[in-house]
């Protein structure tokens, strides 16, 4: 009969025990999962079962992890995102959440830049931990992304982005993300990237502070190679602070826009 | 001048991009501008004249991220 072992289809004898499967495919496994439920080694197997063998505390090899991710993603998606290079300018509330989403997707290479260090006020929305206070954000982020998927290549740049260094740092990206906090920095990055790295799409954000309605945050095409996420109005200000929910919504609009661009889909769902 | 700004018809007395941004009450440091589908860098706002039927996308950025 055929079953799946760690997402690979294999032919086994009809009377195979789970203990025998473990001995053959992963003798070190101490956690046996059949069709989503942990079981013991006497659990009977039937055709079509999906068996996952895990060695607790051991990081899977790149090939193993990839097989597991491929099975979870729609066919064809993983192969395409694995080839992709994405740049992220600013890794605060938006950029850190976008980087986490793209790492979980298995995007091949992330080039991230930010000059800031992790501060206590960041923890209300940014993907850092209390034991990382004071670390350069790009170093803390690289550490966190490694814990999610060590086979995503993360290139951290602890620098302030300027008109001079933006084109060089992001020359090879397939899609660029603007994830800054300050309005002037956002405008500068957009202007500079679109003129200096022509032909590559850029996903920017404007307006996600406060606790206004979720559905006012939208993705729209704002220019030739420019997509814009946000409500375009709500600035961070006293009485309208930046908080995890709306910043997260905007970040994931941006991440999904990146994914759609990488897959050759129109981000707005219009025919291409 | 008859312009199309962010998809809307607009009559304007502006002769250059800088004047248009003043008319729109926008800070030149906080916008990205596409004129007839080409991005204009902010050092050229003053030197970029506007003509009848120009199409502009003026993207305003607010702080937060």
Residues A200 and A175: beta-carbon distance below 8 Å: yes
Residues A95 and A179: beta-carbon distance below 8 Å: yes
What pLDDT was estimated at residue A223? 92
**Helix then strand then coil, % of chain A, to nearest 5:** 35, 20, 45
Q: Write the CB contacts of A259 (distance below 8 Å, at least 6 apart in sequence).
A: A81, A102, A105
Q: Tell whether B32 is within 8 A of chain A (Cβ).
A: yes
Among all chains, which residue has been given the structure tokens 């994830």? A179
Tell me whether strands B2-5 and B55-60 are parallel, antiparallel or unpaired: parallel
The residues facing B52 across adjacent strands are none
Q: Point out the residue among A93, A209, A223 whose CB comes nearest to the CB of B57.
A: A223
Instruction: Show pLDDT as tens, one digit a residue, over chain A (272 residues).
Output: 999 998 889 999 999 999 999 999 999 999 999 988 899 999 999 999 999 999 999 998 898 888 888 777 877 888 899 999 999 999 999 999 999 999 999 999 999 999 999 999 999 999 999 999 999 999 999 999 999 999 999 999 999 999 999 999 999 999 999 999 999 999 999 999 999 999 999 999 999 999 999 999 999 999 999 999 999 999 999 999 999 999 999 999 999 999 999 999 999 997 65
DSSP string of A221-249? EEETTEEEEE-SS---BTTB---HHHHHH
Length of chain A: 272
Nearest residue to B35 (alpha-carbon basis) of B21, A160, A146, A141: B21
Question: Is there a contact between B61 and A93 if contact means CB atoms under 8 Å apart?
Answer: no
DSSP A61: P
Q: Tell whether B42 is within 8 A of chain A (Cβ).
A: yes
Q: CA A118 → CA A126, A148, A240, A248, B9, distances in Å? A: 9, 19, 22, 18, 46
Cα(A73)–Cα(A108) distance, integer angstroms: 15
Tokens of A49: 């079962």
State the complex-level ipTM. Answer: 0.95
Cα(A64)–Cα(A157) distance, integer angstroms: 30
Residues B65 and A94: beta-carbon distance below 8 Å: yes
Q: Which of A90, A182, A183, A228 to mutate to test the interface with B (most CBs of B within 10 A)?
A: A183
Cα(A16)–Cα(A46) distance, integer angstroms: 9
Question: Is there a contact between B65 and A226 if contact means CB atoms under 8 Å apart?
Answer: no
């Amino acid at each position: 009969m055929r079953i799946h072992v760690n997402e690979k289809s294999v032919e086994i004898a009809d009377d195979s025990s789970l203990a025998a499967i473990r001995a053959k495919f992963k003798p070190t496994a101490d956690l046996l999962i059949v069709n989503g439920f942990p079981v013991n080694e006497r659990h009977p197997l039937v055709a079509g079962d999906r068996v996952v063998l895990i060695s607790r505390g051991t990081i899977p090899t790149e090939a193993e992890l990839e097989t597991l991710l491929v099975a979870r993603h729609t066919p064809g998606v993983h192969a395409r995102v694995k080839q992709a290079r994405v740049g992220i300018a600013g890794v605060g509330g938006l950029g850190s959440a976008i980087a986490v989403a793209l790492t979980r997707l298995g995007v091949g290479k992330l080039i991230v830049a930010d000059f800031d260090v992790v501060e206590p006020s960041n923890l209300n929305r940014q993907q850092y931990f209390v034991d990382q206070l004071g670390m350069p954000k790009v170093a803390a982020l690289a550490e966190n992304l490694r814990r999610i998927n060590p086979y995503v290549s993360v290139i951290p740049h602890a620098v302030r982005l300027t008109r001079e260094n933006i084109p060089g740092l992001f020359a090879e990206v397939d899609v660029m993300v603007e994830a800054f906090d300050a309005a002037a920095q956002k405008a500068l990055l957009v202007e500079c990237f679109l003129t200096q790295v022509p032909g590559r799409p850029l996903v920017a954000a404007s307006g996600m502070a406060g606790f206004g309605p979720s559905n006012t945050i939208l993705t729209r095409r704002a220019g030739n190679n420019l997509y814009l996420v946000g409500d375009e109005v709500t600035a961070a200000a006293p009485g309208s602070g930046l908080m995890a929910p709306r910043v997260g919504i905007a970040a994931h609009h941006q991440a999904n826009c990146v994914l759609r661009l990488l897959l050759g889909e129109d981000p707005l769902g219009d025919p291409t | 001048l008859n312009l199309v700004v962010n998809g809307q018809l607009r009559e304007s007395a502006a002769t250059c991009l800088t004047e248009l941004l003043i008319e729109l009450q926008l800070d030149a440091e906080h916008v990205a501008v596409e004129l007839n589908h080409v991005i204009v860098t902010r050092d050229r706002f003053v030197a970029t004249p506007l003509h009848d039927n120009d199409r502009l996308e003026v993207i305003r950025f607010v702080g937060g991220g």
